[in-house]
């Protein structure tokens, strides 16, 4: 492939990342192209600069390609814009936390973030696909139900050991039809485990072989397993946060909003399946088309109905409504930190906006919403400028929540002691 053709491809990828192709049918290719180009913008910028320099070096005899160089210049400008957008994620996420939790929320943290904590970790981003941590131990393929490998989970914990540590449950995405526990959420889990948390990543049954609600039943079984067994791995069984992206964002939100619902707890109806907070990323919140969004209706009729629920909305609207986190919000909803990209080509960001709006109207707990400018679907799958900022923002949120929750328990214990021993 010649210089001009390479720069034409780079320019097209960059343009799609800056402004993704619209439309339901173009959603998947627009996502893949925009996601990789956006999150790997520094690497693509370096490659463009190197390619242009090599072309200029070879073209000393006068065979320069002005059109190819012009395309490289446009790509450079676009990639610089994408990098600047990614760097703004720190400001956006911190602003969302401060607005929802109070500007003094950092006072609850073990220590306020330092400038280094808020800076871009450039060195660790050179090879974004190398995601290891020497101070984290992973115990793999632990059965939490009897569905074979789809009922396995992994436990990430500090190599130095843990006792009474807060617990995070990670639910992978993949359109309810593909995906595995060791493919997503790795930057966040390794980061938290290195700081003393115990993290659990699960598989669950997949459609179309197993239609919904098999997925949410498995998530609830995993929660019940954690409540019973996580103390043996150093976790606190009374505190559980849940997170996930895309289909995992849907499942973690739905699980958080339907705690102890016996409909989805066959054979373990009395198990505690509540969570203390939820952190969904680019989730699907509307299975029923209740948002009125045409994009949600198309997803419902062309994908969810034939592939995931394996029934039509016309024949069983109640099942689609029951599966919609948007319609399951009650005053007892736990705390939420919702994240979504403004350029998501697979799940309309307006679903997240409506979900957050209804949470704020109904829930008695805190609701944080960070809408990330220029972010595509799956922006956190591997380390990048954006995902590094978001991992650390979630770190601050979860530590705020854990410390606040523990302080609340201590306060309740003091009140109980005072009531039993009046002056």
- Characterize the bridge pairing of strands 152-158 and 136-143: antiparallel
Do residues 408 and 416 make contact, with C-beta atoms less than 8 angstroms apart?
A: no
CA distance 356 to 350: 10
- Residue 128 CB partners (closer than 8 Å, separation 6+): 39, 40, 43, 382, 383, 384
Active site residues: 246, 344, 377
SS3 62: coil
DSSP string of 135-149? TEEEEEEEESSSSGG
Q: Which residues of 3-42 are buried (b: 16+ CB within 10 A; e: fewer)?
A: bbebbbebbebbbbbbebeeebeebeebbbbbbbbbbbbb
What are the start-end ranges of the E strands in 196-355?
Answer: 198-202, 235-245, 277-281, 335-341
């Amino acid at each position: 492939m010649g210089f001009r053709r390479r720069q034409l491809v780079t320019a097209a990828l960059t343009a799609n990342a800056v402004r993704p192709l619209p439309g339901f049918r173009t959603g998947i290719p627009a996502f893949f192209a925009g996601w990789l180009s956006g999150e790997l913008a520094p690497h693509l910028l370096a490659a463009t600069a190197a390619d242009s320099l090599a072309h200029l070096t070879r073209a000393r005899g006068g065979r320069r390609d002005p059109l190819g160089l012009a395309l490289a210049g446009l790509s450079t400008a676009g990639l610089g814009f994408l990098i600047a957008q990614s760097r703004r994620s720190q400001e956006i996420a911190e602003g969302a936390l401060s607005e929802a939790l109070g500007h003094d929320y950092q006072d609850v943290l073990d220590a306020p973030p330092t400038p280094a904590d808020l800076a871009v970790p450039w060195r660790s981003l050179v090879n974004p696909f190398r995601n290891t941590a020497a101070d984290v131990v992973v115990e793999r393929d632990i059965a939490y139900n009897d569905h074979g490998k789809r009922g396995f989970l992994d436990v990430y914990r500090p190599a130095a050991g843990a006792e009474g540590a807060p617990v995070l449950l990670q639910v992978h995405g993949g359109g309810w039809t593909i995906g595995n526990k060791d493919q997503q959420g790795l930057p966040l889990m390794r980061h938290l485990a290195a700081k003393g948390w115990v993290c659990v990543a699960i598989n669950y049954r997949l459609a179309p072989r197993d239609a919904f609600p098999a997925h949410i039943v498995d998530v609830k079984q995993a929660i019940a397993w954690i409540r019973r067994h996580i103390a043996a791995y150093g976790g606190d069984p009374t505190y559980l946060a849940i997170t996930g992206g895309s289909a995992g964002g849907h499942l973690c939100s739905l699980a958080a909003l339907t705690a102890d619902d016996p409909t989805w707890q066959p054979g373990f109806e009395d198990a505690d399946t509540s969570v203390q907070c939820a952190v969904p990323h680019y989730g699907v919140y509307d299975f029923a088309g209740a948002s009125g969004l045409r994009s949600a209706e198309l997803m419902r009729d062309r994908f969810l109905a034939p592939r995931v629920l394996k029934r039509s909305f016309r024949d069983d609207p109640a099942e689609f409504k029951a599966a919609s986190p948007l319609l399951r919000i009650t005053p007892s909803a736990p705390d939420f930190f919702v994240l979504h990209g403004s350029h998501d080509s697979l799940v309309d960001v307006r679903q997240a906006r409506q979900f957050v709006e209804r949470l704020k109207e109904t829930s008695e707990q805190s609701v944080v919403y960070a809408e990330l400018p220029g972010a595509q679907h799956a922006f956190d799958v591997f380390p990048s400028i954006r995902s590094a900022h978001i991992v650390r923002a979630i770190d601050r949120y979860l530590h705020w929540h854990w410390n606040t929750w523990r302080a609340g328990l201590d306060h309740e214990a003091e009140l109980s002691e005072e009531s039993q021993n009046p002056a």
